[in-house]
Structure 1
Amino acid sequence: MLVYHLPGTFETREAHLDLLWEAGATGLEERAGLIRAYFDARTDLDAEIADGEWRDEAEQDWQAQFKATLKPVRAGRVTIVPPWLRDEVEAGQTALIIEPGMAFGTGHHATTRMAVEALSALDLTGRRVLDVGTGSGVLAIAAALLGADHATGLDIDPLTIPIAIENAEINGVPPGRVAFAEGSLGLGDESDETFDVLVANLYAELHDLLAGEYAAALRPGSPLILTGILTGKLDLVRAALDREGFGGVTVREDGEWVLVTATSPQA
């Protein structure tokens, strides 16, 4: 079995994932900061992903192996599980069922888990939640399951929208409680709709760019939850929040990743 090992980071992995699929990968997974791409034969790769290493490995049922390594992820009042582990959710926990791909979207990444934990710590009853960069829809769906009146998920990648919708259906979230759309803040959307909570799992430079849009999208005094931030980029995000008048900033670290919460400016 031919496997291509490529170092990955949060900022680059989605682009690397797309390039590896385009190069003919038959499967992808992530292990300890490495993207493992399975190929039938060696192929020329785009320069952006050419710094990896080809390895011949013993033939194995890698999909079955991947499934065997997955465990339920407890995040506050929510437990994120693939469909075949739903019976392992403890009593009193809210099950969030996500059909994982071979690489991402399982909820095992620290950024996703911390964001769900932060949502779980809030009383979302009757609130409207905005998830910016929704991807597979995990955070928007979690908000709906935790009692939000409505959750909206935005993503600039149109390919994620059907996946997020399917995940919402798997979890039994009524269409009126959650909606997904292609787009992002600051991209010409003139909507004056505001939200009670905003969560964004992006990277620090985007949080810096969008900080003003976050303030505009939130009702005064509302919670902001940001993750996808590497510890070395924390100061950039804190400066952006200070610049836009956010208060009550708190920081939580998990390894190399940071979750930042804050309160939107008062009117």
Structure 2
Amino acid sequence: MPIAFFAVIAALLYLAAAGLQLAHLVQRQRHLSRPVLGMAIVALICHAVVTWDALVVNEGVTFGIYKVLALSFLAVNIACIAALLRRPLQNLLVGLLPLSALSIVVASLGPNTSAARDHIEPGMLMHIGSSIVAYSILTLAAGQAALLALQDRQLRNRNMLGITRALPPLQLMESMLFELVWVGVAALTLSILSGMIFMENMFAQHLVHKTILSIFAWLLFSVLLWGRYRLGWRSQTAVRFTLSGFFLLLLAFYGSKLVLELVLS
């Protein structure tokens, strides 16, 4: 069966699930419906097939920017669906799933922009894996922060829209945000430490920007958690720190690959 079939099925199911979840959000339905979850899981399986085919080539494994984009959204989706077992994060699917559909299309049609590696050391696998986990969790945190900002602003203005009324209470939204940040920072810490241990030089010319931006992002998230614990930071302060840290992490994760693989090449 051609890989394009799995890509099309995954993209269509992602879009259908996002549209259905948006309809539920407009109708102020606070619970995740089984059709949305079912379509998302089937799409996730097809997404995994497409990602595997994109990453694994005859010469080994390639981590080009288009392929990593699909891998990143695969990890974000897995993290989101796993988190749904404990927390009502289903509203994040409205934005996440269409972007996932786009990543699959790009991974399927985009060219290879990075040379394949025939062997990856276990230490490097730990670094790569923890980096992807950290990025996926903190992506969810950024999405949660955006929803929290919207909800907080409308509560202050006493002008609640229909979509905002379907969100969980503000205190629960804040609690879910900080839970995501805690897990994300733990994974990011492991990523930075494993990079220092197993990489020859994290401050080499082609890695220095990624390393510095990742460390600054880690510092921002860590200050946020300290401020929450010691000073009781909430709402807008949490939103600003989370979105700023995620922006730095986004630049670290994709910025260097974008320049090296698409601009300089």
TM-score range, shorter chain: under 0.3
Q: Which has the higher strand share?
A: 1
Greater RCO, 1 or 2 (C-alpha within 8 Å, sep 6+): 2
Structure with more of its chain in helix, by fraction? 2
TM value normalised by structure 1 = 0.26
TM-score (norm 2): 0.26
